[in-house]
Chain A
């Protein structure tokens, strides 16, 4: 089956620094990648949709300048949390798909803790 690798699985960073999370499709080309965020004891909410070579489409309420998404190749998308604050601490998970009328596959998720 299709494999999506997310790295790192856990990261702790200091307040004010930036942290990058990678999402890679290992055995297929992902034209579309999705980024989700899970607040503690809450469900997963879609943050943004990124298509390879295009700017990401952010969901309402998600700060574009805060959560920078890059999808520069068909196998890699990155989410950079800029100037992280403790309230950015969360579980972030990506999924990757191959375009219309296909399904997407989830990565393992990244637990971000900002101290």
Chain B
């Protein structure tokens, strides 16, 4: 069975601080996808990144960066110089690739509050 753990339930930072959201996953599959989504107060799910299990390259997109380490089954997300607009719930998810391709398991989410 797949499992995604986001140990940090809530994080509060002051604007311009860097913040890292942790994600640890469990799977027996060798091929899978990992995702990060942002859910702002308005409720919709905003796609941030998708990573294939074979691609362990870290990625940077503006103030966002992701650190994928297969050896520790972690896919952490860092926001640099946080802004108030970053306040949201962030979900890490694991998606199957084989017979049940697309079937996703979500972590419980981390609520990030960025204070001015």
Chain A residues close to B by CB (< 8 Å):
9, 32, 34, 36, 42-46, 49, 91, 93, 95-104, 106, 108-109, 111
CB-based contact B45/A93 at 8 Å:
yes
Are A103's CB and B47's CB within 8 A? no
> DSSP majority for the B interface?
loop
Q: Does B91 contact A (CB under 8 A)?
A: yes
A sample of 22 inter-chain contacts (CB < 8 A) reads A32-B102, A36-B104, A42-B108, A43-B106, A43-B108, A44-B91, A46-B105, A49-B103, A91-B43, A93-B45, A95-B102, A95-B104, A100-B101, A101-B101, A102-B97, A103-B33, A103-B50, A106-B45, A108-B45, A109-B43, A109-B44, A111-B43
Q: Which of B63-111 contact A (CB under 8 A)?
A: 91, 93, 95, 97-109
Main secondary structure of the interface of A (DSSP, over half): strand
**When A32-B101, A34-B104 are in contact, do A103 and B44 touch as well, CB less than 8 Å?**
no
Spell out B's residues near A (CB within 8 Å).
Answer: 31, 33, 37, 43-45, 47, 50, 91, 93, 95, 97-109
20 more A-B contacts (CB under 8 A) besides A34-B102, A100-B99, A104-B103?
A32-B101, A34-B104, A36-B104, A36-B106, A44-B106, A46-B105, A91-B43, A93-B45, A101-B31, A101-B97, A102-B97, A102-B102, A103-B33, A103-B97, A104-B104, A106-B37, A106-B45, A108-B44, A109-B43, A111-B43
